[in-house]
Amino acid sequence: MRTANSLIGSPIERIEDLRFLRGRGKFVDDVACEGALHAVILRSSVAHGHIRSIDCAAALARPGVRTVITAAEVARDIGNVPTITLRQELLEEFKRYQQPVIAHKKVRYVGEPIAIVVAESAARAEDALEAIVMDIESLPVVADRDAARRDETLLFEEARTNRATRLTAKRGDAEAAFANAQYTCRERFSVQRFTAVPMEPRGLLAQWDPAKGHLTVYGTAKVTFHNREILAKHLNLSADAITMVEQDVGGGFGVRGEYYPEDFLVPFAARKLGCAVKWIEDRREHLLATNHARDAECELEIACARDGTILGLRGKAAVDLGAYLRTNGATAARNVAQVLSGPYRIANIHVDVELLMTNKTPVGTYRGPGRFEADFFRERLFDMVAKDLGLDRVEFRRRNLIAENEMPWPLATVMPFDQKTQTDNGDYRATLDRCLQEFDWPQKQAIQGKLVGDRFHGIGVGCYFEGGGSGPRENARLVLEKDGAVSVYVGSSAIGQGIETIFAQIAADALELPLARIRGVFHGSTFHVSRGYGSYSSRSTVMGGSAILDAAANFRAAIRAAAAKQLNCQPDDIALTEDKATGPKSALITLVALAAGGISAEGTYASKMRTYSYGAHAAHVAVDPKTGHVALVDYVAVEDVGRIINPSTLHGQTVGAIVQGLGGALLEHLIYDVDGQLLTGSLADYLLPTAGDFPVIRAIALELKPAPHNPLGAKGAGEGGIIPVGGVIANAVANALSSLGVEPSELPLSPPRVWAMIAQAKCRFT
């Protein structure tokens, strides 16, 4: 008998990496289908306007063109132009801002799909695209949040406002806290618009079988079952008439796998033509049309006692949602409202968040949605307050962190969702202390604000928590193969987080089998399990892993029952070893023999209790005052994740998330002009971190407090690396430039912006 749980906690190399490194990964563009046609999308070049006419005659006459589809064809075929329904934050007032699957009567952002051209090759489809003649009457552009608030121009006239709603987060009595406070401070902050840029952009291959009336869609990801339900409703099909197939995915990060207009248009075209249609997004399309993120501002006010004890927090925030509310567009705004207090003991909170519509690409979730923004706002304010009160900034944080004996700590309730949550458990001071120790904070304090050579040096620190493990449930299925190996099928999706390895470890331990006996982990596709819920909000290990434990228990029971029937005894009399079942008097039967009878078992895990990983980050930067360039000298991250399934994959997730956070803190920015045109629509203009930019990142994972609400004891850990980075880097830059009185209040801290702050500060001193 193997020792239980010997694989969990081991740094097993990722099983999936072998095929990727050998070039044997199978992404959606690798899926071959004989006779497949190719689609390209005609996108609006106008940010806001009425569609007067679309003439497709010349395009249809081009060689190799099979069809050109506009809103008129969609409405004629299915009776209406469907809109993309919400997956999260379902409010009745949001419905008026949902996006039609193809521009209908009006365009509201540059990049909105107006037509889809299907031809024998992508090149011929692109040529035909240029022959489409459009007449669009331009309208005034709502270019930013200020313009949205004025309501002088409306994106949706019937709504009579550009404000989709206002969210309010409350806890305790903030007004009383401020009325009785000895000290208050108010500051304004903003985070720019940017987005995830996976290695592999989006793509789909849809295949219609006219004889069976069945649609197969390759290239789906993240929430395949949910997307199948939306597509089935849009096409007036039953969900059983659609199969979603998940291929390898070159990164998800929140943006991949949501339901976009193309998720309707490509399958619609396949059914219309009765064949297979492939569409692959190019990089410009990705930057123009895939969900954007962040783009928030906040006026934040804090009330404290003179000793630095926080009494209350209140503020007014606003997020730019872009032109439509699609799938999870309000999630980041909800998180800004709810987690603005972070891991700190703040009993009195009142935060209002406006959700504003503008003529930009719609927003969605991007790793740490709303949490990245909230942590920047809060941690930046905390450094300012500590300085103002004459307190050590580390001690200010330590004094206000939620204590272990105060758990679980309820966060603010968000209305009108009536969204409630609370922390689970943790020792927040322990991760802060460990971070400072690993970073060598006491010694590095000597360098803060100093000009060494030609660069100013500074250090920064920040604390955070990471909400994960979102419910409501997840499902898994185990199958005994003919050779005695076991296949694992899960509803979770693989979006680069290594679940093939992690789930194999969990299954092997639960079944007390060698890892080699796990034939494979098959994920995401709708034919693997009866219902799957996907991968988002750091939920895969918590929910999917726990479902595997339940399936494993049922699977072992099924093997015992089958063996008992063969050996003429009771199931409780059966002992299981790696390759056989043994009954009374040493009677035995091999798993290979039992497999002939067909043995499988399903399992599920349901929970409404979120997990809360937590930790602290510290950074050392060097700022060149002549250029404004911020160099990262050292970065340390410490997080308690409850229970580590695989230290190696966890480390990769954390470091990767930190690099994405550094990109958002220092480089990335989606910039629009006053006409709603995207000015950073290529990787020549939209700057991303490269391999040599941030060579020194140290990530340490702890197992101090296993999660109390799931059988694995694991906490979500896919997003913690990115959450505090903006605040930590901004605090380090402020510390470096403290002699100049520079106090960063907006991201990104790009060289031009930092140089301008330095120049402005020098002007004040002359």
Got the DSSP string for 165-220? EEEEEEES-HHHHHHT-SEEEEEEEEEEEE----SS--EEEEEEETTTTEEEEES-
Same domain, 613 and 752: yes
- The answer on 447 and 481 residing in a single domain is no
Give the pLDDT band of residue 766 (cuts 50, 70, 90): low
Contact 422, 410 (CB under 8 A): yes
How many CA atoms, within 13 angstroms, populate the side-chain half-sphere of residue 17?
Answer: 10
Domain CATH for 686: 3.30.365.10
Within 8 A by CB and 6+ apart from 92, the residues are: none
Q: What is the mean pLDDT of residues 231-255?
A: 97
The rounded distance, in Å, linking the Cα atoms of 184 and 703 is 37
pTM score above 0.85:
yes
What does the pLDDT read at residue 6?
A: 85
**Residue 651 located in a structural domain:** yes
Residue 739 gets which letter from DSSP?
G
Q: What is the pLDDT of residues 591-609, one digit of tens each?
A: 999 999 999 999 999 999 9
**Quick one: average pLDDT of 252-264?**
97
pLDDT in tens, 677-713: 999 999 999 999 998 899 999 999 999 999 999 999 9
pLDDT confidence band for 248 (50 / 70 / 90): very high
The answer as to whether 620 is a domain residue is yes
Any domain includes 423: yes
Give the model confidence (pLDDT) of 121-146 as tens digits: 999 999 999 999 999 999 999 999 99
**How confident is the model at residue 641, as a pLDDT?**
98
| Mean per-residue pLDDT, 298-314 | 98
Q: How many domains does the chain have?
A: 3
Single-letter code of the amino acid located at 248 = D
> Are the beta carbons of 311 and 193 closer than 8 angstroms?
no
Q: Write out pLDDT tens, residues 363-400.
A: 999 999 999 999 999 999 999 999 999 999 999 999 99
Asked if the structure places residue 122 within a domain, the reply is yes
Residue 5 lies in a domain: no
Residue 639, H or E segment: strand 630-640
- Strand ranges for 232-309 from DSSP E: 242-245, 276-280, 293-304
Average pLDDT, rounded, for the chain: 96
Residue 764 has pLDDT above 80, yes or no: no
User: Which residues share a beta bridge with 685?
Assistant: none
On whether residue 178 sits in a domain, the answer given is: no
Burial class (CB in 10 A: 0-12, 13-18, 19+), 191: buried
pLDDT (tens digit per residue) in 701-711: 999 999 999 99
Integer CA distances (angstroms), 677 to 130, 289, 299, in order: 20, 12, 28
Cis peptide bond prior to 140, omega within 30° of 0? no
**46-75 pLDDT, tens per residue?**
999 999 999 999 999 999 999 999 999 999
Q: What is the pLDDT of residue 8?
A: 95
pLDDT of residue 88: 87
Same domain, 572 and 694: no
Residue 226 sits in the same domain as residue 305? no
Confidence at 3, pLDDT banded by 50, 70, 90: very low
Residue 211 has pLDDT above 60, yes or no: yes
Q: In sequence order, what E strands does 219-347 have?
A: 242-245, 276-280, 293-304, 310-320
- Whose structure tokens read 């803060």? 448
Kindly report the CATH number assigned to the domain that includes residue 221: 3.90.1170.50
Residue 5's pLDDT is what?
Answer: 52
The confidence score (pLDDT) of residue 762 equals 79
Asked whether residue 760 falls in the same domain as residue 615, the answer is yes
Distance of CA 665 to the CA centre of its chain: 17
The answer to whether residues 134 and 240 belong to one domain is: yes
d(CA 720, CA 463): 10
Residue 57, Cβ neighbours under 10 Å: how many? 10
Residues 82 and 61 in one domain: yes
DSSP string computed for 128-174: HHTT-EEEEEE-----SHHHHHHTSS-SSGGGT-SEEEEEEEEES-H
CA 717 to chain centre: 12
Residues 321 and 442 in one domain: yes
pLDDT the model gives residue 763: 80
Are residues 578 and 613 located together in one domain of the fold?
no
Q: Is the pLDDT of residue 1 over 60?
A: no
CA neighbours closer than 13 Å in the CB half-sphere of residue 43: 21
Domain range for 513: 17-26+471-606
Within-domain flag for 394:
yes
Verify that 90 and 234 share a domain, yes or no: yes
Structure-token pair, residue 178: 């401020």
Per-residue pLDDT tens over the stretch 555-581: 999 999 999 999 999 999 999 988 999
pLDDT at 672: 98
Residue 145 belongs to a domain:
no
Domain boundary among 221, 236, 271: 271
Asked whether residue 331 falls in the same domain as residue 232, the answer is no
What are the Cα distances from residue 389, in Å, to 99, 385, 392, 727?
A: 48, 6, 9, 19
User: Quick one: pLDDT at residue 765?
Assistant: 65
C-alpha angle 739/743/747, rounded to 5°?
Answer: 135
Q: DSSP label at 681?
A: -
DSSP conformational letter for 718: S
**Measured between alpha carbons, how far is 726 from 368 in angstroms, rounded to an integer?**
12
User: Could you tell me if 682 and 671 lie in one domain?
Assistant: yes
Cα(24)–Cα(231) distance, integer angstroms: 30
